[in-house]
Amino acid sequence: MKTFIPLEVKQNIIAGLVKSGCQKIQVGSFVSSKAIPQMRDTAEITEKLLACYPDTVFFALVPNLHGAKAAQEAGLREVSPVISLSERHNMVNVKKTRAESLAEIRKIREILPELKISQDIATVFGCPFEGTMSVNCLVDLIGKLYDLDIRSFTLCDTVGLAYPELVKKTFGTVKKVFPDAEFGVHIHDTRNMGILNSYTAMKSGADSIQTAVGGMGGCPFAPGASGNTASEDFIYLLDKDGYDTGIDFTTLLETAKYAKKTIPDGTFSGHHVCIPESRTVCVEN
């Protein structure tokens, strides 16, 4: 996060993702520029992208009501609030207790009812501070969010502690308890199991899979959170396995090469591709 990525570079990467066939893009995060300086131009890039690509769906991560309002003012119609399954990580990540985060999400729902919420849940498969997390606790948290009329969730492996049996157990449980909700997965590749766990999630009923162009990204508030599963690697796997992702692999690979060439190692950034079960593709930047 030492080097700021120029707006032009971000635009070029997103242009490559759109050209490759990606249909839904997370443009960034509406967070404090003091906390994450890399995201200080999110509103500007959002407005530019909405003007350039009217047929592409854009959304953003938000930590609170203030961020959700900023996202809406920039023209977005969908946001992803974030809450951690781990109490301690939630305090480190957004400086709130889980109860306070739930109250903030309730405010977003009540004050901005026209915004679609796709809820991110961090540290689902393990926490760098609290260790193993309980699936029963996850069900309880989802239930509280479900009561707020949220029906879309992304289960995040924040520091790459997931493994196939845990992924299968988790998705088997949440899909059974909340059959009318959608569940995606976001896997970090810390232990080189990103592809395996992402594929396992897909086979276990995940409605979407998030990956990152060039395997970049991470969480600046979670020790050990290295990059995400590489988009180009996962698309290659799905292409070879007979899935119609709607993504042109060659264009995606060139975009990943450009991103790796222009963004210095150690700079916090992420460009995540989601593969919905319908075989269309959305991308999170």
Per-residue pLDDT at 278 exceeds 60:
no
Percent of the chain at pLDDT above 90?
Answer: 75
Look up 137 and say whether it is catalytic: no
Contact 10, 267 (CB under 8 A): no
The domains found in the chain, sorted by start residue, are 7-284 (3.20.20.70)
Average pLDDT over residues 66-84: 97
Name the pLDDT band for 284 (thresholds 50, 70, 90). Answer: very low
Determine the Cα–Cα distance for residues 74 and 211; give it in Å rounded to an integer: 25
Catalytically annotated residue among 22, 156, 219, 274: 219
Confidence (pTM): 0.90
Q: What is the pLDDT of residue 266?
A: 52
Q: Which residues of 2-29 are buried (b: 16+ CB within 10 A; e: fewer)?
A: eeebeeebbeebbebbbebbbbbbbbbb
Nearest-CA neighbor of 198 among 209, 189, 208? 209
Residue with tokens 């569940």: 183
Q: What is the pLDDT of residue 217?
A: 75
Per-residue pLDDT at 265 exceeds 80:
no
Nearest-CA neighbor of 209 among 275, 159, 151? 275
Q: What is the pLDDT of residue 285?
A: 41
Determine the Cα–Cα distance for residues 246 and 13; give it in Å rounded to an integer: 18
Determine the Cα–Cα distance for residues 228 and 251; give it in Å rounded to an integer: 20
DSSP sequence for 84-139: ESSHHHHHHHHSS-HHHHHHHHHHHHHH-TTSEE-EEEESTT-BTTTBS--HHHHH
Average pLDDT over residues 230-253: 94
Average pLDDT over residues 63-78: 96
Q: What is the pLDDT of residue 283?
A: 45
Q: What is the pLDDT of residue 121?
A: 98
Q: What is the pLDDT of residue 90?
A: 96
Residue partners of 176: CB distance under 8 A and separation at least 6: none
pLDDT in tens, 108-119: 999 999 999 999
Q: Which residue has the higher pLDDT, 172 or 32?
A: 172
Determine the Cα–Cα distance for residues 65 and 103; give it in Å rounded to an integer: 10
Q: What is the pLDDT of residue 96?
A: 96
Determine the Cα–Cα distance for residues 150 and 165; give it in Å rounded to an integer: 27
Q: Which residue has the higher pLDDT, 35 or 222?
A: 35
Residue partners of 113: CB distance under 8 A and separation at least 6: none
Average pLDDT over residues 98-105: 97
Determine the Cα–Cα distance for residues 155 and 168; give it in Å rounded to an integer: 12
